[in-house]
Amino acid sequence: MIIVGVDPGKVTGLAVWWDPAVWVRPNLPALDVAEVAESDAVVPVLRRMLDGRRPDLVAIERFVQTGRRMTFQPHAQQVVGAVRSFCLEARVALVFQQPGPAKKLASNVLLRRIDWSNPTPNGHADDAARHVLLVMATHHPDVFTHVTGI
């Protein structure tokens, strides 16, 4: 099983989890992360991270533009569109998730405990990893329990 997490924005966080029970990757971690500064480079970087494999599930942070606090974030919108197109082409389920539950479920303490912490100045890689854990907990709770011990 391969699960992808995406934190869209001007700098996009990407996380790809490879189930070590299925994918033997000697000397490589089960979680690959990246931060991408250009929205048009997100899908090419994701394709390189996947190494020709098709993910089983992609989770992306839901980007909502509200009327009360109008924040126009073209980079986030472009990334969401590019990832949606990637998923349609690859015939992969795309799950939209709110950032709050992802941060609540996958605290910095948990990320460090399972060796998934990748601190960066803005935390986008860790936020993408949080989305992997949230979709895992929601859609594959047995795998989530195995990975986290929770």
- What pLDDT, in 10s, does the model give residues 10-56? 999 999 999 988 877 776 778 999 999 998 999 999 999 999 999 99
pLDDT for the residue numbered 120: 87
Q: Is residue 68 part of a domain?
A: no
- Quick check: is 126 in a domain? yes
Chain centroid to Cα 78, Å, comes to 16
pLDDT band of residue 7 (cuts 50, 70, 90) is very high
Residue 77 lies in a domain: yes
Query: Starting at the edge strand that comes first in sequence, how are the strands of the sheet with 12-18 ordered?
Result: 31-36, 12-18, 2-7, 57-61, 93-97
pLDDT of residue 135: 96
- pTM for this structure? 0.91
In a domain, 57, yes or no: yes
Please report which residue ranges of 18-65 form alpha helices under DSSP H.
42-50
Domain that holds residue 58: 2-63+73-148
Q: What is the mean pLDDT of the chain?
A: 90
Please state the domain count of the chain: 1
For position 85, what pLDDT does the model report?
Answer: 97
Q: Using alpha carbons, list the distances in angstroms from residue 32 to 3, 67, 68, 71.
A: 11, 36, 37, 30
In a domain, 81, yes or no: yes
Packing angle of the helix pair 124-139, 141-148 (nearest 10 deg): 130
pLDDT at residue number 74: 79
Within the chain, what is the greatest distance between any pair of CA atoms? 50
> Which CATH number belongs to the domain containing residue 29 in this structure?
3.30.420.10
Kindly tell me if the per-residue pLDDT of 67 is higher than 90. Answer: no
Inform me whether the pLDDT recorded for 129 exceeds 90.
Answer: yes
Percent of the chain, pLDDT > 70?
A: 92
Position 72 scores a pLDDT of 65
